[in-house]
Amino acid sequence: DDLRESPALSIARAIAIQHSSEVLAVEPNIKTLNEENIRLVTIDESLSKTDIHVMLVDHKQFKKIKLNDAFVIDTKGIW
């Protein structure tokens, strides 16, 4: 529940800046996120609204996800 030293948050910030877009983030262990251009969403919402999925953290909840036809970058090797 502490993202201060999270490399995933740094990567999400970089993606939002580089692509001038809103990043939808799924982090089951936090309730709020106060980041410009990064919006915390549920797993279901992210699957229905995204074209690219980037796996940065291997939470157990993510292992059960059935991905749609979106482009996938899996840095943890679970998808």
Which residues does 8 contact at the CB level (< 8 Å), separation at least 6?
27, 56, 57
What are the boundaries of each domain within the chain? 7-74
pLDDT digits (tens, 9 = 90+) for 1-60: 677 778 888 999 999 999 888 899 998 888 888 888 999 998 888 888 888 888 888 888
Q: Does residue 70 register a pLDDT over 80? A: no
Helix (H) or strand (E) holding 7: helix 7-18
Q: pTM of the full predicted structure?
A: 0.77
How much is the pLDDT for 39?
Answer: 92
